[in-house]
Structure 1
């Protein structure tokens, strides 16, 4: 098929494009910066596109004539700033709202090609009941931050358009966790409170493989793309530190973490809910190379 990967030079796009090419698809991949050579080396036709400009997106989609558009546009870079989450994610939030709307409009104008879009499901499930959530459970409805609002918008409009939403867990793999690992090594990534809040992880290669299946099957609806082992923060953070050759993470109480790290970090560490991948395995036929972050962290940081 002809596939347009919007945001092909991002950490997931760089793993996704080669897998699509290897499966025989004709891939056009976009970047907002001078990464054309990288995308060409990965086997794609590379084009520059401004993900916040409707005219730029419309022109690229019209020229590529894709049968499937994969929305992987984000702008997440630099040192994690969870305390000021909305500020850190400001451009990504716009890409998930304005950018998504522009992509859907261009897809419709080109003849209604199928859309597969990136969403997020690591710790942000509804904070009621058990620690692990399915696609039938809503994302945390109490979160009023701009990031949560942007994700809700993206999911609503993509589903309404008959597309697929892939809720990826927290990424790890080449280039995905370098900044976090650096904080862990400096002992600047503590466990907050009891560290009971659960998170879900997924290796970039497994996330890319699931995306290829969603593209080829043109699935509709929501899918959690996470590994087999949602886990509390106190477990995965201690294991990440051990794999990175760092000292065990410090522990700080909630009352101290709230002004230092912010509400989002406290929620993630103490109340976060992980996610189940049963639907993706069942309906996509997805098989993970890294079923658990325990194996994946160890191999990535060896």
Structure 2
């Protein structure tokens, strides 16, 4: 999308050939090597630096959430500091960082939260380090002197090459009835199609806005609604239902919280200030298009 809009893009990657096929100049480096990052950013001389580094692989582990996100949390803290320092040193005007919204919201009060609402003051034991990493992003990026900082809190991704996409791990679990509705299924999720997340990022890159923005679709939804819907779209039987006490043994306190207690997020601020509207306004349309055919 950036190349199509006339931007010159330098992309850190593990696969130089893939980056070059997309029209970017590939930069292969260790994002935790401060000297290498400084040199790469200096040589690129960017106007805008975008931090999208994650390190997720293997089976998604809700029971041991922080363990699964351990390396990503390092990239969201030490890796962020290294890249942001390099961006300031190189004279970049703007810095865009990946955040997250969903389970990180306070699990009290109404079902939908805005950027003005607090993050969870009492996270589950298994998610404390991951929430601390998210807090670090939001406390650092918009408040660094000498550079415009914006954090995009993406909702739960779905779409091509995602766990909730064709052939993805979560989609396969739903198709095989291995992802149940826990308790009353009252956890509220906010989704975003990966293409809409990319469009919002392009707008953030080209904007002069700073601060924190939720990037989610228009319809936060409880698990008891979206999970059976996806199963139906996939042509699978309705998901099983399990009581909370049994689910806690299988997916832990954090997994149960995501299925029964988490809150959704509003995209009103991004719509109003960034001029962004999702092409897939609701998860209903997006999932049906994603899994059709």
Q: TM-score range by the shorter chain?
A: over 0.9
**What residue number does 2:155 align with?**
169
**What residue number does 2:270 align with?**
280
Offset at 1:186?
Answer: 2.1
Cα gap change, 1:156/1:196 in structure 2, threshold over 3 Å: closer, same or farther? Answer: same
**What residue number does 2:136 align with?**
153
Q: How does 1:220-239 map to 2 (within 5 A)?
A: 220-239=210-229
Q: Secondary structure at the match of 1:26?
A: coil
- TM-score norm. by structure 1 comes to 0.91
Offset at 1:113?
Answer: 3.2
Matches of 2:93 and 2:39, distance apart in 1? 15
**What residue number does 1:131 align with?**
111
Q: Secondary structure at the match of 2:26?
A: strand
The answer to whether the 8 A contact 2:203-2:276 is kept is yes
Unaligned runs of 5+ in 2: none
Offset at 1:119?
Answer: 0.4
**What residue number does 2:2 align with?**
20
The answer to whether the 8 A contact 1:29-1:45 is kept is yes
Matches of 2:21 and 2:174, distance apart in 1? 33
Correspondence 1:29 to 2:11: yes
Matches of 1:299 and 1:202, distance apart in 2? 13
Matches of 1:165 and 1:117, distance apart in 2? 5
Offset at 1:112?
Answer: 4.4
The answer to whether the 8 A contact 1:224-1:280 is kept is yes
Correspondence 1:216 to 2:206: yes
Offset at 1:248?
Answer: 1.1
Matches of 2:221 and 2:52, distance apart in 1? 26
**What residue number does 1:12 align with?**
none
Q: Secondary structure at the match of 1:21?
A: coil
- TM-score norm. by structure 2 comes to 0.94
Runs of 4+ in 1 over 4 A off after TM superposition: none
**What residue number does 1:16 align with?**
none
- Of residues 192, 195, 204 in structure 1, which corresponds to 2:182? 192
| Root-mean-square deviation (Å) | 1.1
Matches of 1:165 and 1:141, distance apart in 2? 20
Matches of 2:288 and 2:159, distance apart in 1? 11
The answer to whether the 8 A contact 1:171-1:204 is kept is yes
- Of residues 78, 81, 87 in structure 1, which corresponds to 2:58? 78
Matches of 2:37 and 2:231, distance apart in 1? 41
Matches of 1:129 and 1:270, distance apart in 2? 14
Matched positions, count: 282
Decide which moves more: 164-173 or 234-243. Answer: 234-243
Q: Secondary structure at the match of 1:106?
A: helix
**What residue number does 1:4 align with?**
none
